[in-house]
Structure 1
Amino acid sequence: MYRKKLWTGILSAVILWGAAGLAQPAEAASNNAIKVVVDGKEISLSTAPQIVKGRLMVPYSNVVTGMGGKVSWDAKTKTVKAVKDKNTVTYTVGSATAYINDQKKQLESAPVSINNTTFVPLRALAQSFGMWVKWDNAKKQVTIASKLTVQTKTGPLTLNKVPERIATLSSSDTEIVAALGGNIVGRSTALGKVYPPEAALIPEIGSAHGINFETLATLKADLVIGSPSLQPQTATLEKLGAKVLLNSHNDFKEIQNSIRLYGEVLGKEEEAAKLIKRMDEQLKQITASQPAKKPKALILYGATGSFVVALPSSYPGNFLDLAGGENVAAKFPKMDTMPQYAEFSMERIVAADPDVIYLITHGDPAEVKASFKKELESNPAWKNLGAVKSDQFEVLPNDLFAANPGLRAPEAITALNKLLLQAK
């Protein structure tokens, strides 16, 4: 099982609005400075929140009770216990080790006792009960929610707790969820390399084209992430006890939207924002180096005899545009079954006369290139194309193009950009 810690024990840096000017490691915030709201109701705090070493700490008794839980205190061991629904969380004053249902978890900030009141890290406490935590800097307000409704490609989805066991049915979703720290218990069947590499140990459950329901049932996933094409199977997936999030991303911005969405679902908005910022910075570097004149490019997906043509609305087509190329298939009619692609038409390709031709395949790149070269030599229609005359056809890296690369989109765009800059 691949798992990254879901615990941070801190709020985002914006919550530290008053921390920099504090003279002591722990100092009471103004009674009116920070509000804590649970499911729309403000919690009455007996003692003001404390900022301890840059982290917001709250009196555990008030907050746990406000979340609908029960609390207890063992003075001898300086241990506090919080119970809500089926979850039991135990903290010890001065220790960064906590226990959730007897499983050890490390906190980034240990509970403290100040003036006979025990304070615990707010985000860690709320997330241990599967609740979402958000900070409103304008209102100086922390909002804790036991439910979350998000908008998906097929409509609103309401979650009753932060997902703890996630199954992904696309490689790009696997990589995004892993980068956000989600606990992935099942992933899509790999067609090549697995990203991240450590996810190779996660059980395979098929793909959107065919789910292994038997394996999936054993994994006890509480959230399944798949494409909108799985909508007819939603009821079957829900019978396994999972919520179903249907989503897709066909271009750079949509990939970033997916990162943002999954960050919200996992209570990892800050981590999502960092990933998106990094992608933007990488793209900015790529777009700073563009061909003086955009080469006319054709992107073929598949194998000789069964090619389809990537349109600008597809992820390869979008990457081509961002890399500095002109897609000759921009006005080709889209397919009904694959609306981001067009059917292969020799007549249209000859009329478009591309400067470069790029191939995407799941097969061995060298074999595909050799096979395509034979096709060029045996089919007179190809010979008059500018790309063929100048020997400008390449097989794109299949680990970046055979499936949507998700987080690695900047790498894919970089690969195209380098080829376009080399075009004759």
Structure 2
Amino acid sequence: MKEKIKSVLWIIIGISLSLCVSGCGVSGGFVPIQNRAQKPAYAVIHDDLGRTVTLSAKPQRVIILTTSLLSFSAAVNGPIVGRTTVRSKQIHIPSQYIQATEVGPVYAVSMEKVLALQPDLIIIGAHSQEKLLPLCEQNQIPVIALKTKTRQEATRALQIMGQIYGCPQQAAMAQTVLDKKIQQVLNKLPNRTKTAAILHVTPGAVTVELSDSIAGDMARLLRVQNVTCPTGKAGITKEKVPYSMEALLAADPDVILFTAMGSPDKIDKRLRTDLKANPSWAHLRAVRTGQVYVLPEQYFLVSPGMDYDKALRYMAKLIYGEAFDATI
């Protein structure tokens, strides 16, 4: 009989404990993990490679691996801990980034140096640095890839910098100021158009730049007909197609513009070999009228960034000359 009573008592105690535990859950002391509200993300960014990048917190150790993006982060006073090495004396580095740790040139970044800086965000150039993605992702470092070739891409890059650094209004204000400066240049254009060929020269080749290049996009804004030179072959990239003297002669543009990448002596050698040595070169209208120009690399080899209006004005003066200066 006693054993029976003990069994009943243990059952009652067990039921009481179960009710007590259930009561704790209802009264608000414990919430199962799956039912807890997740902390909202700091920012969700859609980059120019079609990737969605979620930042859980505001980045504190940002590395920017393409020089053309530095002016956009500087426009919103965004700090960085690392950047690429710039060898050209023509290309401007924002003063607040001069002391940032250098991690190698844009096409030969040292990932060992990058990882040593323990970044919590890396910003790269879309397509040109896409190969860096796997290693960054392997080390669980968020990466945002951006383009800056065209005005539209540059506008978007500035907007995303505002998201990254938590100051979208500052980015919008900077964009408004820049847009007004650009419009001032466009308002001065004469009421006529010109034709131009934009040639890109490296020590190894000469190609023709299309409207998706930096210079090509600016020429379009300036109402310049960009004379392309199709050769019947597939284009080298979306921005360039192979150069053809025959097609250049047929188009006979008013102006010829050069962008160059490489040492001056090697570039000059390539120009002499591919262009100036050809007897037909001297018969081009642009050559006869002295309208052949080499564009400065700080504006046209890398994106001019927040100096877009200055680059646009520079090209407008070359193409339209006194007609541009005299226009009110």
Flag whether TM exceeds 0.5 (same fold). Answer: yes
CA distance in 1, matches of 2:123, 2:303: 15
In proportion to residue count, which structure has more strand?
1
**Looking at CA atoms only, which structure, 1 or 2, has the larger radius of gyration?**
2
Q: Which residue of structure 1 aligns with residue 26 of structure 2?
A: none
* 8 Å Cα contact 1:387/1:393 also seen in 2: yes
Q: Which residue of structure 1 aligns with residue 101 of structure 2?
A: 203
What's the TM-score, normalizing by structure 1?
Answer: 0.60
Amino acid at match of 1:164: Q
Question: Which residue among 138, 149, 157 is the counterpart of 2:44?
Answer: 149
Q: Does 1:181 align with 2:77?
A: yes
Question: Which residue among 374, 380, 389 is the counterpart of 2:288?
Answer: 389
> Structure 1 stretches of 5 or more lacking a match?
1-143
What SS does the corresponding residue of 1:301 show, helix, strand or coil? Answer: strand
Larger mean Cα displacement after TM superposition, 384-393 or 208-217: 208-217
Q: Which residue of structure 2 aligns with residue 172 of structure 1?
A: 68
Alignment of 1:17-36 (within 5 A): none
CA distance in 2, matches of 1:241, 1:235: 10
Alignment of 1:28-67 (within 5 A): none
Question: Which residue among 117, 140, 145 is the counterpart of 1:219?
Answer: 117
Question: Which residue among 222, 225, 228 is the counterpart of 1:323?
Answer: 222
* 8 Å Cα contact 1:353/1:385 also seen in 2: yes
The Cα shift of 1:260 comes to 0.5
Q: Which residue of structure 2 aligns with residue 158 of structure 1?
A: 54
The Cα shift of 1:194 comes to 3.4
Question: Deviations along 1:104-124, whole A, 9 cap, x unmatched?
Answer: xxxxxxxxxxxxxxxxxxxxx
The Cα shift of 1:178 comes to 2.1
The Cα shift of 1:354 comes to 1.0
Question: Deviations along 1:238-259, whole A, 9 cap, x unmatched?
Answer: 3445211112122111101110
The Cα shift of 1:335 comes to 5.6
The Cα shift of 1:227 comes to 2.3
Q: Which structure has the higher relative contact order (CA within 8 Å, separation 6+)?
A: 2
Does the C-alpha gap of structure 1 residues 404 and 343 become closer, same or farther in structure 2, counting only changes over 3 Å? same
The Cα shift of 1:367 comes to 8.9
Does the C-alpha gap of structure 1 residues 319 and 160 become closer, same or farther in structure 2, counting only changes over 3 Å? same
Question: Which residue among 181, 185, 192 is the counterpart of 1:293?
Answer: 192
The Cα shift of 1:311 comes to 0.2
* 8 Å Cα contact 1:334/1:341 also seen in 2: no
Q: Which residue of structure 2 aligns with residue 411 of structure 1?
A: 310
Does the C-alpha gap of structure 1 residues 403 and 267 become closer, same or farther in structure 2, counting only changes over 3 Å? same
Amino acid at match of 1:264: Q
Does the C-alpha gap of structure 1 residues 291 and 328 become closer, same or farther in structure 2, counting only changes over 3 Å? farther
CA distance in 2, matches of 1:191, 1:335: 33
CA distance in 1, matches of 2:107, 2:263: 22
What's the TM-score, normalizing by structure 2?
Answer: 0.77
CA distance in 2, matches of 1:239, 1:206: 21
Question: Which residue among 212, 235, 246 is the counterpart of 1:313?
Answer: 212
CA distance in 1, matches of 2:82, 2:264: 29
Q: Which residue of structure 2 aligns with residue 343 of structure 1?
A: 242
* 8 Å Cα contact 1:220/1:240 also seen in 2: no
Q: Which residue of structure 1 aligns with residue 33 of structure 2?
A: none
* 8 Å Cα contact 2:126/2:146 also seen in 1: yes
Q: Which residue of structure 1 aligns with residue 165 of structure 2?
A: 266
The Cα shift of 1:373 comes to 6.8
The Cα shift of 1:293 comes to 2.2
Amino acid at match of 1:291: P
CA distance in 2, matches of 1:299, 1:279: 25
Does the C-alpha gap of structure 1 residues 310 and 333 become closer, same or farther in structure 2, counting only changes over 3 Å? farther
User: What count of residue pairs does the alignment treat as equivalent?
Assistant: 281
Does the C-alpha gap of structure 1 residues 203 and 357 become closer, same or farther in structure 2, counting only changes over 3 Å? same
Identical aligned residues as a percent: 26
Q: Which residue of structure 2 aligns with residue 352 of structure 1?
A: 251
* 8 Å Cα contact 2:68/2:148 also seen in 1: no
Question: Deviations along 1:161-186, whole A, 9 cap, x unmatched?
Answer: 11111111111112211221211111
CA distance in 1, matches of 2:133, 2:204: 35
* 8 Å Cα contact 1:312/1:330 also seen in 2: no
CA distance in 1, matches of 2:279, 2:133: 49
CA distance in 2, matches of 1:255, 1:386: 34
